[in-house]
Amino acid sequence: MKLLILGGGPGGYVAAIRAAQLGADVTIVEKKYFGGTCMNVGCIPTKVLLHTTDLYHELLKSGKKLGIKTQGTEVDWNRLMDRKAEVIRALVNSVEALLISNKVTILFGEGRFLSANQVEVISESGDRQLSDFDYAIVATGSEPAVPPISGIMSEGIMTSNEILSMETLPKSLSIIGGGVIGSEFASLFSRLGVEVSIIEMLPRIVQTMDEEIVNYLDFELRNQGVKILTKSKVESFEAFAGGVRVQVSSIEGNQVIESEKVLLSIGRRPVISNLGLEKIGVKVDKGISVNKDMQTNVSNVYAIGDCTGGIMLAHVASAQGIVAVEAIMNKKSKMDFRTIPYCIYTKPEIASVGMTEDQVRQAGINYTVGRFPLMSNGKAFILGETEGLVKFIIDAKTDEVLGMHMAGPKATELIVEGAMALRLEATVDEIITTIHAHPTVAEAIQESAHAVHGNAIHLPK
């Protein structure tokens, strides 16, 4: 069976490797670079920068207390950019090596459907190559959304792609959008001494995650000097000699914010144009329409990841790639969307899985909540990161875990325990009776489970 995959991002390359494992003859078409947005201009490079700035800020804030002399400590931006490039290059090369070791045929160029069984691939030099297939998976990803706001093409306005390649740090930065990406960049640049403003249209930043948990992030960003404007709409941009003026309207009136640079962080849109989808009759709505097996209305064509217009996360695309391949190879698997973790790599880290308190309330579910503050956790105290919380949302009738939410050190690593609990339909008692190592931040998860019924060990009555 011949399988062709358009796109070598976290969905496409994982699908290619899984298909090769199952015995398919796999060809992958990549326009630019393996690893997609995540590895090249998204998840990976931002985490490289955040890691350095977290270390830098920790030394400045707590070095003396920790017994470290920090006189003269500074961030070498040029060296940091070099390290970012080194990490990306190593990981991209690793993906290509994995594909080669699994005997996946690699075609570099832009793929376009000619029929439901053939694509043409046009290389950067203009060479044209035809490739036939029995099944195809579209995994073309997404790109930053650029809304039609007056002056949006002004010099000094960037998307997340461009901001990761700045040669020098700006003195000031306005971030349009206070979601995950905007909050991470606000945390990053404010720790480097950049004057940062977030302009968010919704009532609070990171509106999609549990409010009580996000409040820790909101507090810390403001404590770092970030100016956060919510319920605020950008009306226009205007370039001037010192940077960009942003005209903002809100219920409190109009104001102008001036900054050297502006980051557009207001979402992403599927990359689905110029693929020939209309030629073969693939249905498109907000993205490519698919069923639970990631199959389009054209039976031998599947689509995964951001190009479907659904949840735009790298780990979702990878999981969907495996679902699609196993459906094609008659090894049916399914995806449990309840177990998708949402993570923000700020300080404190924020992570969430399952239902938020607002969601269970709106659903009319009778629920209980367990909370354990990290100020009572020994490892968090050692790390000097006690501003945080572990929170469980529990079905009051069955004691089943409905959601877990966390702010604090290693939250993005520890959230998988909540995801596993949801996947196994675990009860709070099963969290409690699982022995957690000491001293670890993970102990706070067990304590939060104890707290559901008012029995947390390390909280005073």
Per-residue pLDDT of the chain (461 residues; tens, 9 = 90+): 999 999 999 999 999 999 999 999 999 999 999 999 999 999 999 999 999 999 999 998 888 888 998 888 999 999 999 999 999 999 999 999 999 999 999 999 999 999 999 999 999 999 999 999 999 999 999 999 999 999 999 999 999 889 999 999 999 999 999 999 999 999 999 999 999 999 999 999 999 999 999 999 999 999 999 999 999 999 999 999 999 999 999 988 999 999 999 999 998 999 999 999 999 999 999 999 999 999 999 999 999 999 999 999 999 999 999 999 999 999 988 899 999 999 999 999 999 999 999 999 999 999 999 999 999 999 999 999 999 999 999 999 999 999 999 999 999 999 999 999 999 999 999 999 999 999 999 999 999 999 999 999 999 87
Reported CATH class of domain 2-144+269-335: alpha beta
200 belongs to an annotated ligand binding site: yes
pLDDT in the model for residue 460:
87
Contact 280, 113 (CB under 8 A): yes
296 belongs to an annotated ligand binding site: no
What is the spatial order of strands in the sheet that 342-344 belongs to? 342-344, 350-354, 401-407, 389-395, 367-373
pLDDT in the model for residue 61:
86
184 belongs to an annotated ligand binding site: yes
pLDDT in the model for residue 417:
98
Active-site residue 438, yes or no? yes
Residue 246 belongs to what H/E stretch?
Answer: strand 243-250
Please give the angle made by the CA atoms of 176, 405 and 347, to the nearest 5 degrees. 50
Task: List where CATH 3.50.50.60 sits in the chain.
Answer: 2-144+269-335, 157-266
Contact 28, 107 (CB under 8 A): yes
132 belongs to an annotated ligand binding site: no
| Nearest residue to 290 via CA among 330, 312, 320, 319 | 320
pLDDT in the model for residue 71:
86
140 belongs to an annotated ligand binding site: yes
Reported CATH class of domain 157-266: alpha beta
What is the spatial order of strands in the sheet that 105-108 belongs to? 105-108, 25-30, 2-6, 135-138, 301-303
Strand, coil or helix: what is 211? helix
178 belongs to an annotated ligand binding site: yes
Q: What is the DSSP string of 304-347?
A: -GGGGTS---HHHHHHHHHHHHHHHTT------GGG--EEE-SS
339-451 belongs to CATH 3.30.390.30: yes
- In angstroms, the CA 445 to CA 405 distance is 10
Catalytic residue among 436, 438, 450, 453: 438
Task: List where CATH 3.30.390.30 sits in the chain.
Answer: 339-451
